[in-house]
Amino acid sequence: MFEQIQETTDVYKKVLNGLSVRQRVFANNLANVDTPNFKRSEVLFEDQLSRTISQQKGDSFPAIPISYTNPLHFSLDDYTPYIQPDVIVDKDTSYRNDGNNVDIDLEMTKLAKNEVTYSAVAQLLTGKIAGLKYAISEGGG
């Protein structure tokens, strides 16, 4: 049972991590909204995350297993591998004459969405911990 708790909180932790990297990248895009030849970046981690989650459930998504020689060695089968959010630079578009492709309206909207998503996930995590506390205290005060 503890593995399940560990797994869910791990997923939450990775989501919050990815969202905070995304926040930093949006802040950078907005700070450079007037810099000539600046190309906006974005963060992609949802695909990676869903891949690692389905890896845990045993779906047939191609995964690279950790090999070990001795069965007593720790395997990584029951631990979500570390994911590094991808920061990619969107070089293909050019929105203005000065080579800058930051669309201020799009960035602000994505920023707002990111903030709300972060709050939602933080709230889910808090709810999970509150549930655990309730179970520990056996429903008492």
Partner 1 sequence: MGFLSSLKTSASGLTAQRLRLDTISNNLANANTTRTLKGGPYKKQMVVFTPITKQYSPFSLAAYTNAATLNINKPDDYNGGVKVASIVDDKRQGKLSYEPGHPDANSDGYVEYPNVNVVTEMVDMISANRSYEANVTAIGASKSMALKALDIGRA
- Of 125, 120, 45, 129, nearest to 82 by C-alpha is 45
User: Which class for 141: exposed (0-12), middle (13-18), buried (19 or more C-beta within 10 A)?
Assistant: exposed
Site for partner 1 in 13-52 (CB under 8 A): 16, 19-20, 23-28, 30-36, 38, 41
Q: Which region among 50-58, 59-67, 71-79, 123-131 touches partner 1 (by CB under 8 A)?
A: 123-131
Residue 89's H or E segment, with its range, is strand 86-89
By beta-carbon proximity to partner 1, the closer residue of 27 and 59 is 27
Cα separation, 63 vs 34, whole angstroms = 42
By beta-carbon proximity to partner 1, the closer residue of 63 and 125 is 125
Residues facing residue 88 across a β-bridge: 42
Binding stretches for partner 1 (CB under 8 A): 16, 19-20, 23-28, 30-36, 38, 41, 82, 84, 87, 89, 104, 107-108, 111-112, 114-115, 118-119, 122-123, 125-126, 129-130, 133
